[in-house]
Amino acid sequence: MTVLSVNVNKVALLRNARDLGIPSVTAAAAACVQAGCDGITVHPRPDQRHIRPADVFELAEMLDVEFNIEGNPFAGPEGGYPGFMNIVRKVRPAQATLVPDAPGQTTSDHGWDLAADAARVTPLVGELKDLGVRVSLFVDPDVDQIARAPAAGADRVELYTEFYARAHAAGDDEAAFARYAAAAAAAQDLGLGVNAGHDLNLGNLARFVTIPGILEVSIGHALIAEALHMGLAETVRAYLKILEQTR
């Protein structure tokens, strides 16, 4: 069965809009775990616009499910940001997902070009594995790129799923689905585990995970947005109940 890792970045983004400490990232993660998720994902970026290093360390102390830290391994110390590799070295999460984010990038929007980057990535993958951290490389559904992942030392690849999500939303995902199925099969033939993430949601997830061998999906933005809608009514009722007691 495919497991769910909930990305709590957007909780931190909302928290950072005010200096009140709410919503709590750790409380949100605990609620997700209590609801049955299998892991928590964070993506600490150098600009600290959402998850901050302190959040990562607090989550590491409290979680009893798999912790996945994703980010660019070449993002070094900057201001109050200690550098991605230094965070992972300290925490030693179950999994590190290495993503080729550029500085200032709004969100992850492409996978590694391992033809160009493997020489730099491979030593860092080796270091992380020596620390006992499982390493996943963020990749497009490109079998040529995936074929290079074992030589880089990766344990898994995470398929960047925006292409599928856009095709599904447009009502014609057959070609995209076939592309991802072929990519997943190619990865597994090479002995790689397969994760997936980006723009998966309640509307498109069920079809996607019929692809054999998808071990884990990491979902954040859509899940938090859906929770806002699905939980708003109950929250309003809770406020009204308090007010009704004063009438």
49-78 pLDDT, tens digit each: 999 999 999 999 999 999 999 999 999 999
Q: Determine how β-strand 39-42 pairs with β-strand 66-71.
A: parallel
Type and span of the H or E element at 200: none
Gap between the terminal Cα atoms of the chain: 50
Phi, psi of 40 (to 5 degrees): -125, 135
Active site residues: 43, 70, 198
Tell me the pLDDT tens digit for each residue of 20-56. 999 999 999 999 999 999 999 999 999 999 999 999 9
Residue 106 clears pLDDT 80, i.e. is over it: no
Best CA proximity match to 127, nearest among 153, 151, 157, 145: 153
| Mean of pLDDT values over 82-108 | 90
Supply the pLDDT for residue 243.
75
User: Can you give the residue ranges of every domain in the chain?
Assistant: 3-244
CA distances from residue 94 to 18, 66, 155 in whole angstroms, order as listed? 31, 6, 12
Q: CATH second-level architecture of 3-244?
A: Alpha-Beta Barrel (3.20)
